[in-house]
């Protein structure tokens, strides 16, 4: 009896196992299809708000979205829920934005900051203009979380005040500008910057301003006294050289610097030779400045000497005349010994100036005199026709091609004329006034001459009276 019951239990167990096996064998048929469907990229139709954004008049924002590689992220967000995009106008991203901040966003290493900035302008809700909350005294403020994950604590406030819709700190200039089934776009007047992006920008800017400490070299021995040289006073890294550039110049037409003018001394922490080579290559590729490059490299040795100066820590601004201006130089002006060097010296300013800095100076102060390497002459700059004019009179030149090359140590500004210093006008000595030397008469002769003059006048009057009556013939003195 027990064996029969035991057999019935076995039959029931085998039947259940068979049903489960058949069911499990049928499940894998549908599972790969489901998995494949979940991994498939989301499908966006032509009526999507993303397509409308890329084809809209918000061209600056759409370009940044493509550069930030956010299309796939936004497609996934659109498939899950509606989104609201606050699009800054093109002027806010093109002209009103700080150039340094824009350069920071477009650097490849700051892609994450650019993505966070753009995602901060999007919220995972559909908010139309009729749903905008009106700000009142008793009503609670409404905040929304953006798609930026790193700005979870920083939410966006929407309010309507005095008839104007406001998003955080930006005013809405075009509400419901683009309406699509999966989202809506409102136009705002300015850019919204999350705190995380602002902190990254401030940290990067302060990091650039920090300079490395220059290494200390081995002690040097003075060859004259055979004793150790006293260490110079510490100079902060990146500061200008202790000696002025004129003391670093060797006498004569050469620009050879003194042995130890700069913070690095002979260690050459600045690669001036490479920088000079780069700016000469830039002149050649820029076009129109071949004569200037030829004088620096072939006709003179100024290129190598300028490299030495820059290596020692000095900065230079080169006023480069174009080929048309250099063609006006005569043979006599270039044939004299040292003439090419003297001409170039007058075009080298021992300061780092850009087109913006020079234009601001002449706009503020009128005429500005810059020192040149041709002592003691200075070049005069003033504002003219919205540009900077150098020199005076007929020998003046205008800033023609600004900022051809700027690297922080060397600045090259193209001008349309060759500058010459105003030679000191030598005033001819005035001819000495030749005074007639008249001998002083003695007292006796003076009184005698006065007496004779009086007697002569009396005689003339008497003869005139006698002539009137006809008796002057009787006197020989009247004849």
Q: What is the pLDDT of residues 26-80, one digit of tens each?
A: 444 444 444 444 455 556 778 888 898 988 899 999 999 999 898 888 988 888 8
pLDDT at site 354: 93
pLDDT at site 36: 40
Confidence of residue 473 (pLDDT cuts 50, 70, 90): low
Answer whether residue 103 shows pLDDT above 60.
yes
Please tell me the distance from the alpha carbon of residue 327 to that of residue 356, in angstroms, as a whole number: 28
Cα angle, residue 158 at apex, residues 157 and 159 outer, rounded to 5°: 120
Please tell me the distance from the alpha carbon of residue 372 to that of residue 172, in angstroms, as a whole number: 54
Question: Whose CA is closest to 273, among 302, 233, 308?
Answer: 308
Peptide bond into 254 cis (omega under 30): no
- Exposed/middle/buried for residue 295 (C-beta within 10 Å: 0-12, 13-18, 19+): buried
- Cβ atoms 85, 121 nearer than 8 A: yes
Confidence of residue 99 (pLDDT cuts 50, 70, 90): confident
pLDDT at site 42: 59
Identify the residue whose tokens are 């300079």: 211
Tens digits of residue pLDDT in 217-255: 666 776 667 777 776 666 666 666 766 776 666 544 444
Average pLDDT over residues 361-373: 92
DSSP secondary structure of 380-429: EEEEETTEEEESSGGG-EEEEEEEEEESSSEEEEEESS-----PPP-PPP
Answer whether residue 471 shows pLDDT above 70.
no
Please tell me the distance from the alpha carbon of residue 294 to that of residue 291, in angstroms, as a whole number: 5
Percent of the chain with pLDDT over 90: 31
Query: Within 13 A of 107's CA, how many CA atoms are on the CB side?
Result: 12
Question: Whose CA is closest to 57, among 163, 151, 178?
Answer: 178
Domains of the chain from N-terminus onward: 49-205 (2.30.180.10), 245-415 (2.30.180.10), 452-478 (no CATH)
Assign 150 to helix, strand or coil: helix
Count, residues in the chain: 479
Distance of CA 28 to the CA centre of its chain: 65
Rg (CA), the chain: 46
Q: Kindly report whether the global pTM for this prediction surpasses the value 0.75.
A: no
pLDDT at site 186: 93
Tens digits of residue pLDDT in 123-165: 999 999 888 887 766 677 888 888 888 887 888 888 888 888 9
Average pLDDT over residues 164-190: 91
Phi, psi angle pair for 319, to nearest 5°: -90, 100
For residue 141, what are its two tokens?
């403020």
Question: Whose CA is closest to 322, among 277, 353, 286?
Answer: 286
Return the number of other C-beta atoms located less than 10 Å from residue 252's C-beta: 9
CA distances 98 to 87, 103, 279, 357, 466, Å, are 18, 9, 27, 17, 112
Confidence of residue 387 (pLDDT cuts 50, 70, 90): very high
pLDDT at site 295: 92
Confidence of residue 345 (pLDDT cuts 50, 70, 90): very high
């Amino acid at each position: 009896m027990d064996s029969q019951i035991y057999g019935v239990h076995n039959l029931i167990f085998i039947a259940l196992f068979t049903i489960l096996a058949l069911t499990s064998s049928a499940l894998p048929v549908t599972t790969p299809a489901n998995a494949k469907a979940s991994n498939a990229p989301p499908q966006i139709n032509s009526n999507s708000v993303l397509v409308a954004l890329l084809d809209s008049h918000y061209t600056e924002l759409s370009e940044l979205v493509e550069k930030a590689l956010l299309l796939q992220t936004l497609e996934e967000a659109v498939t899950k829920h509606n989104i609201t995009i606050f699009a800054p106008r093109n002027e806010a991203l093109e002209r009103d934005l700080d150039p340094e901040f824009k350069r920071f966003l477009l650097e490849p290493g700051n892609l994450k900051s650019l993505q966070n900035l753009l995602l901060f302008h999007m919220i995972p809700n559909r908010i139309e203009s009729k749903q905008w909350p009106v700000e009142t005294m008793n009503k609670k403020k409404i905040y929304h979380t953006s798609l930026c994950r790193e700005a979870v604590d920083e939410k966006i406030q929407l309010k309507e005040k005095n008839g104007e819709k406001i998003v955080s700190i930006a005013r809405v200039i075009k509400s419901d500008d683009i309406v699509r089934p999966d989202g809506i776009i409102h136009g705002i007047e300015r850019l919204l910057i999350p705190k995380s992006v602002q902190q990254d920008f401030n940290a990067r800017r302060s990091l650039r301003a920090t300079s490395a400490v220059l290494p200390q070299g081995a002690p040097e021995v003075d060859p004259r006294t055979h004793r150790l040289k006293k260490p110079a006073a510490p100079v902060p890294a990146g500061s200008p050289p202790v000696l002025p550039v004129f003391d670093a110049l060797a006498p004569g037409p050469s620009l050879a610097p003194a042995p130890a003018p700069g913070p690095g001394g002979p260690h050459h922490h600045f690669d001036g030779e490479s920088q000079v080579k780069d700016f000469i290559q830039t002149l050649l590729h820029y076009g129109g400045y071949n004569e200037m490059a030829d004088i620096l490299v072939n006709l003179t040795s100024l290129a190598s000497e300028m490299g030495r100066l820059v290596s020692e820590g000095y900065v230079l601004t080169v006023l480069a005349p174009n080929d048309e201006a250099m063609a006006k130089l005569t043979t006599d002006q270039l044939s004299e010994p040292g003439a090419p060097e003297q001409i170039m010296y007058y075009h080298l300013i021992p300061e780092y100036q850009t087109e913006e800095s020079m234009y601001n100076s002449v706009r503020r102060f009128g005429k500005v005199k810059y020192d040149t390497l041709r002592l003691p002459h200075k070049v005069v700059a003033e504002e003219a026709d919205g540009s900077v004019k150098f020199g005076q009179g007929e020998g003046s030149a205008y800033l023609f091609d600004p900022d051809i090359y700027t690297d922080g140590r060397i600045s090259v500004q193209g001008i349309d004329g060759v500058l010459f210093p105003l030679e000191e006008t030598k005033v001819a000595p005035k001819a000495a006034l030749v005074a007639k030397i008249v001998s002083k008469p003695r007292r006796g002769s003076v009184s005698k001459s006065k007496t004779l003059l009086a007697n002569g006048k009396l005689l003339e009057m008497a003869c005139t009276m006698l002539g009137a009556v006809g008796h002057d013939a009787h006197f020989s003195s009247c004849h």
